[in-house]
A and B are shown apart, each in its own frame.
Chain A
Amino acid sequence: GQQVMQIPQYQHVQEGEDFTTYCNSSTTLSNIQWYKQRPGGHPVFLIQLVKSGEVKKQKRLTFQFGEAKKNSSLHITATQTTDVGTYFCAGGDYKLSFGAGTTVTVRA
């Protein structure tokens, strides 16, 4: 079945630095979604990408969908303490498959 892999599993970032988390699928995806889960909370939808090569921005967050629609990335610039949490990518239609997530911690 469809598998979605995310790397890295953990990302320790100095406040103000940039980082990128990657998502790779074993199959072509119709769309990719990104969610953020704050510590002790539940996942909250961030964005959905549908088109090949699509790039979307949300303030300091840049999301990209690969040309082959099998990979995606989330790039965060100038990391802030509010960025702490676990970022999940998910792909598929009715049965969304989630990656294991990238847990981000920030050093002030």
Chain B
Amino acid sequence: DGGITQSPKYLFRKEGQNVTLSCEQNLNHDAMYWYRQDPGQGLRLIYYSQIVNDFQKGDIAEGYSVSREKKESFPLTVTSAQKNPTAFYLCASIDYAGANVLTFGAGSRLTVL
């Protein structure tokens, strides 16, 4: 089955540590996105990438970094510069040739201890 795989599902981190969240898709979608979800705040865009080797900052990019070396993969690094990293992180993709709607992964829940 085609879909988006995020790992790990749960992650605990100490303050001051960087952590990388994995996102892999086998849908052959062009664009990939990272969203952060906090209670009562909906989904906020961190970064997005429309093509390989290119990505754009979203609304809350500070303290995060990404790469897009392959079409299938869009990992997100939460750096120690991110002041409040505890959140639910969602990866998504869009097929521009199709309906132009988001398909989401199951999410990764990061807790900073």
For the complex, is B90 an interface residue (Cβ under 8 Å from A)?
Answer: yes
Total inter-chain residue pairs, C-beta < 8 Å? 46
Taking residues whose C-beta sits less than 8 angstroms from the other chain, chain A's interface range is 20 to 34
Q: Chain B: how many interface residues by the 8 Å CB criterion?
A: 22
Contacts of A100 on B, CB cut-off 8 Å?
40-42
Which of B35, B40, B42, B104 lies at the interface centre, i.e. has the most chain A CB atoms within 10 A of its CB?
A: B42
Q: Decide yes or no whether B8 CB sits under 8 A from chain A.
A: no
Residues of B contacting A96 in the complex (Cβ-Cβ under 8 angstroms): 45, 102
Across the interface, B102 reaches (CB within 8 A) one of A1, A31, A43, A99, namely A43
B104 proximity list for chain A (CB < 8 A): 42-44
Nearest CB in chain B: distance from A26 CB, A: 14
Residue ranges of A at the interface with B (Cβ–Cβ < 8 Å) = 1, 6, 9, 31, 33, 35, 41-45, 48, 88, 90, 94-101
Q: Which B residues lie at the A interface, using CB under 8 A?
A: 31, 35, 40-45, 48, 50, 58-59, 90, 99-107
